[in-house]
Amino acid sequence: MSEAVIEAENKYATGLHKKRDLVLVRGSGARVWDSTGKEYVDCNAGHGVALVGHCNRRVVEAIQAQAERLVTCPETFYNDARAGLLSTLAEAVPAGLARFFLCNSGTEAVEAAIKFARLSTGRKEIVATMRGFHGRSMGALSATWEPKYRKPFEPLVPGFHHVPFGLPETIVEAVTEDTAAVILEVVQGEGGVHVAPPGYLEGVEEACRRKGALLIIDEVQTGFGRTGRMFACEHFDVDPDILCMSKAMGGGVPVAAVALGSRVGPLPVGVHGNTFGGNPLVCAAASAAIEFIEENDLPGRAIALGARFKARLESIKSPLIREVRGLGLMVGVELRQKNGPYLDALVKAGVLALPAGGTVIRFLPPLVIEPEDLEFAARALEGVLSNPPE
Ligand code: PLP
Kindly report, residue by residue over 93-125, the tens digit of the pLDDT.
Answer: 999 999 999 999 999 999 999 999 999 999 999
Is a pLDDT exceeding 80 seen at residue 325?
yes
- Ligand 1, residue 222: give the atom nearest the CA: 3
Is a pLDDT exceeding 80 seen at residue 262?
yes
Distance 5 CA to ligand 1 centre (A): 27
- Ligand 1, residue 247: give the atom nearest the CA: 15
- The pick from 51, 114, 134 for probing ligand 1's pocket by mutation, whose C-beta has the most ligand atoms within 8 angstroms, reads 134
Average of per-residue pLDDT across 264-291:
98
Higher pLDDT, 388 or 67: 67
Determine if the pTM surpasses 0.95. Answer: yes
With contact defined as beta carbons under 8 Å apart, do 214 and 380 qualify? no
Distance 10 CA to ligand 1 centre (A): 25
pLDDT band at residue 390 using 50, 70 and 90 as cut-offs: confident
Sheet with 24-28, side-by-side order of all strands: 24-28, 31-34, 39-42, 351-352
Q: Could you read off the pLDDT of 333-369 as tens digits, one per residue?
A: 999 999 999 999 999 999 999 999 999 999 999 999 9
Distance 221 CA to ligand 1 centre (A): 7
Distance 114 CA to ligand 1 centre (A): 14
Q: What pLDDT, on a 0 to 100 scale, did the predictor assign at position 388?
A: 83
Ligand 1 neighbours, Cβ below 6 Å, are 47, 105-107, 110, 133-135, 185, 189-190, 218, 220-221, 246
Distance 41 CA to ligand 1 centre (A): 23
Q: At what angle do helices 280-295 and 80-92 cross, to 10 degrees?
A: 30
Q: CA–CA separation, 94 vs 85, rounded Å?
A: 16
Distance 68 CA to ligand 1 centre (A): 31
Distance 294 CA to ligand 1 centre (A): 23
Residue nearest ligand 1's atom 1 by CA:
134
With contact defined as beta carbons under 8 Å apart, do 51 and 363 qualify? no
Q: Give me the chain's average pLDDT, please.
A: 97
Distance 357 CA to ligand 1 centre (A): 14
Share of the chain above pLDDT 90, in %: 98
Q: What pLDDT, on a 0 to 100 scale, did the predictor assign at position 92?
A: 98
Share of the chain above pLDDT 70, in %: 100
Q: What pLDDT, on a 0 to 100 scale, did the predictor assign at position 288?
A: 98
Average of per-residue pLDDT across 245-267:
98
pLDDT band at residue 389 using 50, 70 and 90 as cut-offs: confident
- The pick from 185, 247, 255, 258 for probing ligand 1's pocket by mutation, whose C-beta has the most ligand atoms within 8 angstroms, reads 247
- The pick from 49, 133, 184, 217 for probing ligand 1's pocket by mutation, whose C-beta has the most ligand atoms within 8 angstroms, reads 133
- Ligand 1, residue 137: give the atom nearest the CA: 16
CB count within 10 Å of CB 283 equals: 28
Residue nearest ligand 1's atom 10 by CA:
134
Distance 277 CA to ligand 1 centre (A): 17
Q: What pLDDT, on a 0 to 100 scale, did the predictor assign at position 136?
A: 98
- Looking at the chain, the number of H-run helices and the number of E-run strands are 13, 17
Residue nearest ligand 1's atom 5 by CA:
221
Q: What are phi and psi of 283, to 5 degrees?
A: -65, -40
- Ligand 1, residue 135: give the atom nearest the CA: 11
Is a pLDDT exceeding 80 seen at residue 34?
yes
Q: Could you read off the pLDDT of 128-148 as tens digits, one per residue?
A: 999 999 999 999 999 999 999
Distance 193 CA to ligand 1 centre (A): 14
With contact defined as beta carbons under 8 Å apart, do 229 and 196 qualify? no
Between the two ends of the chain, the Cα-to-Cα distance in Å is: 30
Q: CA–CA separation, 20 vs 42, rounded Å?
A: 14
Average of per-residue pLDDT across 3-22:
95
